[in-house]
Amino acid sequence: MSEIKQSLTRRIWQKIERNHLPILCLALLAGTAIKLFYALTTIGTNDVYYWHTFMRYIVKHGSVNIYRDIWYYNHPPLMSLFLELCAKLQHYFYNGFPFLMRLPAIIADIGSFILIYRLLKTYQESQKAFYSALLFALSPIMIFISGFHGNTDPVFLFLILLAAYFFLRNSLSLSALSLGLAINIKIVPLITIPVFFFFIESRKKKLQFCGILMFAFAAGFAYHLANNFACVYRNIFSYGGLQGIWGISQVLSFHFGPEIVAKYLPVGKLLIFLTIVVSAYRLSLHHSGNRESTFFQEGRQLEQKKGNDFLFALSWTFMLFFVFTPGFGVQYLAWMVVPGILLGLRGALFINITGGLFLFLVYTFWCGGTPWHYADSDSMGVWHGWPEFLALLLWLFIFLWAIQIFLSERQKFIGIVDQNGKE
C-alpha cells in the first residue's frame, strides 16, 4: 500500500515539476492580489488607527516624547521615521495611510516567498520547496494579517529569513545587519539571537557578528534611549502583549482568574528565555558533533546538514515562544507560519487552516459582520465562542507538536555526538 502511495506521489510530482515555477508565480500573484484588495478597500484593524495617531503626534512633537506621552507606543524609533514618510506620501496613494501601512508587509511577503523557496531548494529538496512556497503564498494567515490587519510583523519575519539566508551563505556581516534591522522593526527577533550566536563556529566570528548586531541596534535605539531611557524601556522592552487569551495564560484565566494570569507574566517570559537559550546551545552542540563525525562527507552534504540544523533550531525557537508566551495578539500567528512550514508541512497546513478560520471569525466579529472594513477590537472587546475554542485548539496542537518533535529528535536536545558519530 505504501509503495502504491509513493508511486502515485512520484507521478503527481513529475507532472507538477515541469510547470512548478508558473504554478508558484500564479499562487504568489493570487495571494498578493487578495492582500492588495484588502489594503486598497479597507481600513484594517484599530492597529491602523493607532498607527495614524502615532503619525500625527510624531509629525507635531517628534519621535522622542511620544514614548513619554503615549505609553502604548511600543515600536522602535525606526518606525517613527517610517510614519514621517507616510505623512508625506499618504496623499499620493489610493486609500492613503491605511494602504501605506500595509504595503511594506505585502512586499515583505513576496521576499519571504522567494527566500523560503531558495532555502528549501538548497538545503532540502525541490518538492518540499515547491509545496512550502505554495502554502506560504496562499496562507490565509499571511493574507489576513499582511493584507488586512495593518502591522509590521511580516516585515521583521522577512528580515529574519534574510538574516538566516545570509548566515547560511557565510555572510555574517549581512546576516547581523539584517537581524539588527529586524530588531529595529520590532524587538521580537531578539529571541532568535541565541540560535545565530551558538551556531557561529569561532569566537572571533561570534564577536564580529555581535559587534555588527550591536551597531545596528545602537543606530536605531541609542539616541532615544539616551534621551528618555525609562519611557523607551517601559513602552518597548516591558511590553507583554494581551494576557489571558492564549495558551497557558488562557487556561489559567479559565480556572483561576486574572490575578494568577498576571503572576504568570514574568514566569512565562523566564521560561521562554531559558528554554530558547538552552535549546539553541544543545542544538548547536549536536550540530558541531555531527560536523566533526562527518568530516569526510562531501561539501554538499555538509552544507545541507548545516542548513537543516540551523533552520530547525530557528523554527524551534518560535515554537517555544508560542508554547510558553503569557501575552498574545492575533497578528502573532504570522510568526508561526514559516517555522511551521520548516518543521513540517502537515503541521503547517493545520496551523494555516485553523489559524485562518480563527482570524476570519475574529475579524468578522470586530467588524460587526462581513464585508470587512474596520475591525475595532476596542469597541467589540475580546472574542468568545468558536474563536476562543480555536485559539485553545491551536495552542494545544502546537504544544503537542512540540512534544512530538522533542521526543522524535531528543538526541539533538539531550545527546552530544562524539567524534566517532555516537551519542
Q: Position of cell 521583521? A: 156
**96-123 and 153-168 helices, crossing angle to 10°:** 30
The pLDDT mean for the chain works out to 92
Query: Phi then psi for 45, rounded to 5 degrees?
Result: -85, 175
Mean pLDDT value of segment 339-368: 97
Q: Is residue 317 part of a domain?
A: yes
Given this model, what pLDDT does residue 213 score?
Answer: 97
- Separation between Cα atoms, residue 294 and residue 305, nearest integer Å: 10
pLDDT of 247 above 70? yes
- Separation between Cα atoms, residue 106 and residue 87, nearest integer Å: 19
Q: pLDDT by residue (tens digit) across 279-308?
A: 999 999 988 766 555 554 556 677 788 889
Given this model, what pLDDT does residue 422 score?
Answer: 47
**CB-CB contact of 98 with 43 (8 Å):** yes
Q: Is residue 4 part of a domain?
A: no
Given this model, what pLDDT does residue 305 score?
Answer: 84
Mean pLDDT value of segment 416-423: 46
Given this model, what pLDDT does residue 288 score?
Answer: 77
Half-sphere exposure of 401 (CA within 13 A, CB side): 26
Given this model, what pLDDT does residue 9 score?
Answer: 61
Q: pLDDT by residue (tens digit) across 392-404?
A: 999 999 999 999 9
pLDDT of 418 above 50? no
Q: Is residue 16 part of a domain?
A: no
Percentage of the chain with pLDDT > 90?
83
Q: How confident is the model at residue 358 (pLDDT cuts 50, 70, 90)?
A: very high
Mean pLDDT value of segment 199-224: 95
Q: Is residue 1 part of a domain?
A: no
> Rounded to a whole number, what is the largest CA-CA distance in the chain?
70
274 to 90, 251, 279: CA distances (angstroms): 43, 22, 8
Task: From 288, 216, 249, select the one nearest 392 (Cα to Cα).
Answer: 249
CB neighbour class for 64 (10 Å; exposed up to 12, middle 13-18, buried from 19): middle
- Separation between Cα atoms, residue 206 and residue 202, nearest integer Å: 6
Given this model, what pLDDT does residue 102 score?
Answer: 98
pLDDT of 417 above 50? no
DSSP E strands: which ranges in 129-262? 242-243
Q: How confident is the model at residue 15 (pLDDT cuts 50, 70, 90)?
A: low
Half-sphere exposure of 177 (CA within 13 A, CB side): 5
User: Could you tell me which residues come within 8 angstroms of residue 265 by beta carbon, excluding any fewer than 6 positions away?
Assistant: 240, 243, 249, 326, 327
Helix H or strand E segment including 327: strand 327-328
Peptide bond between residue 371 and the one before it cis (omega within 30 degrees of 0):
yes
CA quadruple 282, 273, 346, 121: dihedral positive or negative?
A: negative
CB neighbour class for 11 (10 Å; exposed up to 12, middle 13-18, buried from 19): exposed
User: Could you tell me which residues come within 8 angstroms of residue 169 by beta carbon, excluding any fewer than 6 positions away?
Assistant: none
Given this model, what pLDDT does residue 419 score?
Answer: 45
Task: From 326, 349, 125, 152, select the one nearest 336 (Cα to Cα).
Answer: 349
Q: How confident is the model at residue 411 (pLDDT cuts 50, 70, 90)?
A: confident
Mean pLDDT value of segment 162-189: 97
Alpha helices in 62-171 (DSSP H): 66-69, 78-89, 96-123, 126-137, 140-144, 153-168
Q: Position of cell 521562554? A: 272
**2-17 and 126-137 helices, crossing angle to 10°:** 70
pLDDT of 6 above 70? no
Full domain range(s) for residue 106: 22-414
Domain count, the chain: 1
Lowest-confidence segment of 222-231, 238-247, 359-368 by average pLDDT = 238-247
Task: From 175, 193, 142, select the one nearest 352 (Cα to Cα).
Answer: 142
- Indicate the pTM of the whole model: 0.93
Mean pLDDT value of segment 54-81: 96
- Separation between Cα atoms, residue 132 and residue 27, nearest integer Å: 12
pLDDT of 423 above 60? no
Q: Is residue 6 part of a domain?
A: no
Q: How confident is the model at residue 3 (pLDDT cuts 50, 70, 90)?
A: low
pLDDT of 29 above 50? yes
Q: Is residue 148 part of a domain?
A: yes
